[in-house]
Amino acid sequence: MSSRLLRVRKKLNSKRPKFLRTETWKHISFKNDPKWRKPKGKDNKMRMKRSGKQPLVSVGYRGPKEVRGMHASGLKEVMISTPGQIDGLENVIIRINATVGNKKKIEIVKKAVKSNLKIANPSLTYVKVNSIEEFDAIEPIKDHIQKLIVPLSLDNDTRTDIVRKAEDAGITVEE
């Protein structure tokens, strides 16, 4: 992806207005629901494109074809929902599907880190660890973990070792 196209895209995005629904400035209920809706009223000034009214969505605001749908980093974005989909991907940024559970998300992040792929939404809200071996297995993805859960049912020596290692790695521990 050429840097010239990315600059053009950035410039166009900065000039593109925020398309607001008709009369959002009048009705409080629209402030919580800022989605675009096409104005359809008979005497609607916005539909008639009167000056001083909000702009309508139209073809002229579209960006260049080469950069359309790309991530801000300039890489093509790919949606992933299983660890097997990562095989053979290069020069892309992956986005993990929102419906993927935590266990599978950990596997996907591990595989993506191993194959040097960028991840758009890598944060793992929590990871549960029951042994030191499991903690060593998640060592490569420690930057993406927000909380580490160590169960109280573990014996004290193992628990303290895991907590100490996690704190050295900069991971917050929840017990």
Contacts with 29 (C-beta within 8 Å, 6 or more apart), sequence order? none
Spatial separation of the C-alpha atoms in residues 107 and 100, rounded to whole Å: 11
Quote the pLDDT of residue 82: 95
In this structure, are 118 and 133 located in the same domain? no
In this structure, are 89 and 147 located in the same domain? no
Average pLDDT over the chain reads 86
Q: pLDDT tens across 3-27, in order?
A: 777 777 777 777 888 888 888 888 8
In this structure, are 127 and 140 located in the same domain? yes
Quote the pLDDT of residue 170: 84
**Segments forming the whole domain that contains residue 89:** 69-122
DSSP element (H, E) containing 119: strand 118-119
Identify the weakest region by mean pLDDT among 61-75, 99-113, 116-130.
Answer: 61-75
For 125, phi then psi, to 5°, come to -65, -40
Strand partners, 174: 149
Residues in the chain: 175
